Amino acid sequence: MKALSTGLVAATLALTGAAQAQDVIKVGVIAPMTGPQAASGQQIMAGAKLYQQLNGTKVGNKTIELIFKDDTGVPDVTRRLAQELIVNDKVAVISGFGLTPLALAVGPVITQAKVPAVIMVAGTSMIVGTSPYFVRVSFTLPQNTAPVAQWAVENGVKSAVSLFSDYGPGLDAAAAFKKRLEAGGGKVMQELKAPLADPDFAPFLQRAKDAKPDALFLFVPAPTAGALMKQVVDRGIPQSGIKVIGPGDVTDDDQLNGMGDGVLGMVTSYNYSAAHDSPENKKFVEEFKKANNGRRPNVIGVGGYDGIHAIYKAIEKNGGNTDGTKLIEAFKGLSWVSPRGPVSIDPETRDIVQNVYVRKVEKKDGELYNVEFKTYENQKDPK
Ligand code: DHB
């Protein structure tokens, strides 16, 4: 009798477990939470958690469980974590990817496993084309760079030096800038490539200053912007008459206040500003700060938030069916109002379509902000 009742209890527990497992949809979030890109993982995690805090964990009768993993910014680790999440944890989706090489590392894994991957940060144009299971909610560098190149043309920039991190997004940004500046009659005099790991910007900045261009065009990944801009300001480059410009990664909202007043007046173009004037963004910034000891969200925080939103909406659209091939279809054509403004997923390319804003650094209530003054609506990746 004793043995029987123990068996019954075990069977009941197993049944309950199975029922619970069916009601839970697991989502992996892989990002650098430690190492030089740690700020990226922190912002992704904060954005993703805030989405659940404000919107709950339920989609229909399913509970969405987020599983966070730290890849320390190393592609081999990203790939291994993706495999473990898919095979052991049976996640329906993976997401995150704080750097281009980290996203590229999971392409073959998701293609083979037929599991969608939502890119929350990485911005090299070609990534999404490397697997039919990629979808991107972040941005591309050509998308974010084109408007500031146009601004340079319209504001008398005839000569420029470009300084950028020597990997995918840097090459994309520099090419997009050069194409538009030169189409507008200007010339890129020099392209200076700094290593992604442990860069020493000093010799590059000296060469750029000595060349006396009308503009210095800059790109580094957002978490590196504070280190770069401190040196740009210390060398007095903005004050020397050289216009310092770039995509908004270089005036990253997370670090902008630490860059000092030397960046006042700097013009960039970008898909997100913490100062974006909309009710959705006011609420997002307020709640993000409340949940994170006053820390300001940046483009990566909004990428984490929107990435989870897109995952909720794709699961909802499919009535809770998480078959990977059906789920990737559900992402195509999604549209919503993000804290950054209206966005959609291009059904052809699975890439984000969004407004890109031209902004200027201004001081408001004692803090530095990227204040938007011109909008390019519904921008696709221009390639
Ligand atoms: C990438 C990473 C960033 O943090 C950023 O601001 C832009 C691009 C990337 O590696 O793709």
DSSP assignment of 117-174? EEESS---GGGGGG-TTEEESS--HHHHHHHHHHHHHHTT--EEEEEEESSHHHHHHH
Q: Ligand 1 centroid to 82 CA: how many Å?
A: 20
User: How large is the angle between the packed helices 38-55 and 299-317, nearest 10 degrees?
Assistant: 50
Q: Which residue has the tokens 């804003």?
A: 357
Residues whose CB is less than 8 angstroms from the CB of residue 9 and which lie 6 or more positions away in sequence, other chains included:
none
Q: Ligand 1 centroid to 328 CA: how many Å?
A: 23
Listed residue (252, 145, 164) closest to 216, CA to CA:
164
Mutate-to-test residue for ligand 1 from 43, 44, 99, highest number of ligand atoms within 8 A of CB: 99
CA–CA distance from 149 to each of 1, 207, 215 (Å)? Answer: 80, 22, 10
**pLDDT at position 239:** 92
**pLDDT at position 2:** 46
Q: Chunked in runs of 10, what are the mean pLDDT values of the chain (383 residues)?
A: 51 55 92 97 98 98 98 98 98 98 98 98 98 98 98 98 98 98 98 95 97 98 97 95 98 97 98 98 98 98 99 97 97 98 98 98 97 98 89
Q: Is 27 left (phi over 0), alpha (psi -120 to 50) or beta?
A: beta
Mutate-to-test residue for ligand 1 from 30, 121, 130, 381, highest number of ligand atoms within 8 A of CB: 121
Residues whose CB is less than 8 angstroms from the CB of residue 140 and which lie 6 or more positions away in sequence, other chains included:
123, 124, 125, 172, 351, 352, 381
Listed residue (69, 375, 362, 43) closest to 222, CA to CA:
43
Q: Which residue has the tokens 């997923």?
A: 345
Q: Which residue has the tokens 């100062």?
A: 275
Q: Ligand 1 centroid to 140 CA: how many Å?
A: 9
**Ligand 1 binding residues, C-beta < 6 A:** 40, 99-100, 121-124, 169, 221-223, 249
Which residue type is seen at 216?
A: L
Q: Ligand 1 centroid to 138 CA: how many Å?
A: 9
**pLDDT at position 127:** 98
